Amino acid sequence: MSVPRLETSITEAFSIIDSGLAEYVFPFAAQEIGYVTSVATGIVKVSGLKGAGFEELLKFSESLYGIAYNLDEEEIGVILLGEDTLLNAGDEVQRTGRVMDIPVGDHLIGRVIDPMGAPIDGKGTVVSTKRLPIERPSPAIMDRTAVNSPLQTGIKVVDALIPIGRGQRELIVGDRQTGKTQIAIDAILNQRGKDVICVYCAIGQRASAVAKVIANLEKNGAMEYTIVMVAEGNNAAGLKYIAPYAATSIAEYFMEKGRNVLIVYDDLTHHARAYRELSLLLRRPPGREAFPGDIFYIHSRLLERSTHLSDKLKGGSLTALPIIETESQNISAYIPTNLISITDGQIYLSPKLFEAGNLPAVDVGKSVSRVGSNAQLPVYKAIVKLKLQYAQFEELENFSRFGTRLDESTKKVIDHGQRIRICLKQNELNPLTVPEQIVILLALTNGLFDLIPIDKVAEAEAAILKNMSQFPDDVMKNLFGDQPLKDEDHDLILKMTNEMLAPFLKAELDKTST
């Protein structure tokens, strides 16, 4: 047996290595590195990055990034997207050459993520094949179409009197603890089975409040079509600032696929305050109420991305429900007036109605939908008198408080209005279908509840809802059509509803006779 010569093997090995090195091209890449000069709460100042661009993503460590915002001659003001506890002056910072982006796709449905796209629900990592920038231009005017398709919230007072259309931006405004979030959550719950993707973006909320919202969504099966993005109140101001933009990019992904999307921003008050904090730390000039001059622009460029795309772009829609908090019912404050001028209407929640137990506490007089009946099913035209009847009642109710003697016609208007107010009440997490709403509101408009005692109206309404299965299926299907309610269907609904209310009328007559 011959033994190979060691010298030959070593020579051959070196020749192979030499030939490999000759063919290999080393990927030299110039890298621009700067240094942190100062650290403040939520922002840092960086020097040495002469080529950095506006809103470019900068890397401080594997888990900490920032957005270049102030491009001064000697240094850059950077918004941190995380905690600054481990960051010190002198630390290195690198350019990434890209802007802030977020993972998008169907795999996000049912997940709870932070504004960086990282999961925070304990269900494993998010595997993404596509990312979109969080800041994207809004669709061009020629790429949009009219808002003419309804987005049902399941809330009687909203769907009947303040209709919302797919692609609309409807502001929810009111003092704290008046049920603003609950309006939005009920709207999300009502999208079950309607092929609508929902995105709930919590900005600056308490962890307990966000946990309650997620629990309600899971309990009612809404997480099957919902994505939740959370920037808690104790998170960095930078995360609260980018959260709504990141959530909108996720929603736009589905809109551009031809899907209908509903997005809730809860709430933009905290978003404005976070931006004010960052602007003051970056030494930007303060204006009214210490907000920077571009505070209008940060909300307008966000909400302009919500629209109904034309059919040539697959016809998807993005409906926005931004929430804003007022102080002492002052809707003429700076941020509320900004958002009222940007959006297509507002749902105003009154503290007085809330305290009186009239929930949802929607003030019909101060609420408006600028799209109007164009974004409402034609069947709702059968109850068009309801808003006028309610407005007349509210006006006369104020006079009746002075103890003046009222004539019979005025008493009838007030009695009818009181029943309207009771029937517009609705429990939370209990959205109603279109047939349920129409049957109740049609009976209300035609005075079928007027002979029932006020303390029995809620019970009578519940009895109608319990017996909804008795109405013919073909009549109920007609309510979803593109034509107003037929006379024969109208008469049949009133006749059957009157029969359901007969026991309550008989009980009142028996009580009167005795």
Annotated binding-site ranges for ATP: 174-181
Q: What is residue 36's DSSP assignment?
A: E
Helix (H, G, I), strand (E, B) or coil at 400: helix
Q: Which residue has the tokens 């002979």?
A: 451
Which residues lie below 8 Å from residue 431, measured CB to CB, with a gap of 6+?
153, 154, 155, 186, 187, 189, 190
Helix (H, G, I), strand (E, B) or coil at 120: coil
Tokens representing residue 91 in the block: 């630390």
Q: β-strand 76-80 against 65-71: which pairing, if any?
A: antiparallel
Has 401 been annotated as catalytic?
no
Helix pair 408-423, 434-445: axis angle to 10 deg: 170
What does the alpha-carbon distance between residue 381 and residue 161 come to, in Å, rounded to a whole number? Answer: 11
- Which regions of 316-451 does DSSP assign to beta strands (E)? 317-326, 345-349, 368-369
**Which residues contribute to the annotated binding site?**
174-181
What does the alpha-carbon distance between residue 366 and residue 346 come to, in Å, rounded to a whole number? Answer: 8
What does the alpha-carbon distance between residue 451 and residue 415 come to, in Å, rounded to a whole number? Answer: 10
What are the backbone angles phi and psi of residue 242, rounded to the nearest 5°? -85, -15
What does the alpha-carbon distance between residue 226 and residue 26 come to, in Å, rounded to a whole number? Answer: 47
What is 126-184 written as a DSSP string? ---SEEEESS-PPPPGGGB----SB---S-HHHHHHS--BTT-B-EEEEETTSSHHHHH
Tokens representing residue 189 in the block: 């719950």
What does the alpha-carbon distance between residue 393 and residue 386 come to, in Å, rounded to a whole number? Answer: 11
Catalytic position from the list 370, 401, 405, 421: 370
Q: β-strand 101-104 against 130-133: which pairing, if any?
A: antiparallel
What does the alpha-carbon distance between residue 243 and residue 235 come to, in Å, rounded to a whole number? Answer: 11
In contact, 57 and 65? CB cutoff 8 Å: yes
CA atoms within 13 A on the CB side of 370: 13
Q: Which residues of 298-320 are buried (b: 16+ CB within 10 A; e: fewer)?
A: bbbbbbebbbbbbeeeebbbbbb
Q: Which residue has the tokens 């797919």?
A: 166
Question: Residue 74: how many CB atoms within 10 A of its CB?
Answer: 8
Write out the catalytic residue numbers: 370
